[in-house]
Amino acid sequence: MRTLFICILVLVVFQRWDDISSVLSLSGGSAVAPYVADVDVPNDVVVLYATKWCGYCKRARQLLRKHDIEYIEYDIEASREGRVQYDRLGGGACRYC
């Protein structure tokens, strides 16, 4: 049973390795660090790349407001600058906002 579990785990990791390696840099640094310098935002401000229709984005907005967290929002469908930054940082689908 243990061997079967390990085989399944290895298979899942192998299939999702591109996603895993894009989140975790093998060198110990941030996977998005090379691109952060390209985005002109104060260090103490959260940037939310979102869409108007996304439920996850709506919940993120509510959470940020509830906790009085200052944030800048880019609608990635309406803002060219926001879309460019989102793509540069490796944004995949809106559900990962």
Domain holding 76: CATH number? 3.40.30.10
Residue 40 CB partners (closer than 8 Å, separation 6+): none
Instruction: Work out the average pLDDT over 73-93.
Output: 83
Does residue 16 lie in a domain region? Answer: no
Whether the CB-CB separation of 22 and 30 falls below 8 Å is answered with: no
Q: In this structure, what are the phi and psi dihedrals at residue 73, rounded to the nearest 5 degrees?
A: -115, 135
Does residue 85 lie in a domain region? Answer: yes
**Domain containing residue 97:** 44-97
Pairing mode, strands 46-50 and 71-75: parallel
Does residue 64 lie in a domain region? Answer: yes
Does residue 20 lie in a domain region? Answer: no
Does residue 4 lie in a domain region? Answer: no
- Number of domains comprising the chain: 1
Count of Cβ atoms closer than 10 Å to residue 95 Cβ: 9
**pLDDT band, very low/low/confident/very high, at 58 (cuts 50, 70, 90):** very high
Does residue 96 lie in a domain region? Answer: yes
Instruction: Work out the average pLDDT over 23-42.
Output: 53
3 pLDDT higher than 80: no
Instruction: Work out the average pLDDT over 22-32.
Output: 50
pTM for the model stands at 0.54
